[in-house]
Homo-oligomer: A and B are copies of this chain.
Amino acid sequence: MSAGDDGDRVRAFTEFRERMNERILAEPNQVVRRFFALDTQAYQAGALDVATKELLGLVASLVLRCDDCISYHVARCRDAGVGRDAMFEAFSIGLVVGGSIVIPHLRRAVDFLDRLESGADAPPDGHHHD
């Protein structure tokens, strides 16, 4: 697969996420809308800084094995200044806690990180919602 295809795939995914988030938030369901707001609030700086909170979101996503959530938090960690070594230490904790069933997700996470680092992808924008 060429880098161009990769870029297209990431753009298609990002476009889908943005479009569906708007669609969901336009719905007159207050519980869903409040949940999305809470999801954003949970990662804001407090006693713990943003980088640590995004790492927490990353490891939670790894052990629960959700590729979209993992990609999202990998990008956010990177935006928050988490380096590759630190990212791999977080991966290693997710792997040890969650077991070998995490490995296929780890492969895709590393692939996504590689592409981010090679500049193939624009990072997702600032809204949370995994």
Chain B residues with CB below 8 A from A17, complex form = 107
Main secondary structure of the interface of A (DSSP, over half): helix
Instruction: Give the number of times this chain occurs in the complex, counting copies.
Output: 6
A103 in complex: contacting residue of B27, B39, B91, CB < 8 Å? B39
Chain A window 40-72, contacts with chain B (Cβ cutoff 8 Å), 1 for yes, 0 for no: 011100111000110111011111111011000
Categorize the interface residue count of chain A: 35 or more
The reply to whether the CB of A124 lies closer than 8 angstroms to some CB of chain B is: no
Besides A39-B96, A60-B93, 5 other A-B contacts (C-beta < 8 A) = A29-B88, A35-B100, A47-B83, A47-B88, A100-B129
Q: List 15 A-B pairs, Cβ < 8 Å.
A: A16-B107, A20-B107, A23-B110, A27-B88, A29-B88, A31-B42, A36-B103, A42-B92, A46-B89, A48-B89, A59-B60, A63-B63, A64-B98, A68-B104, A69-B97
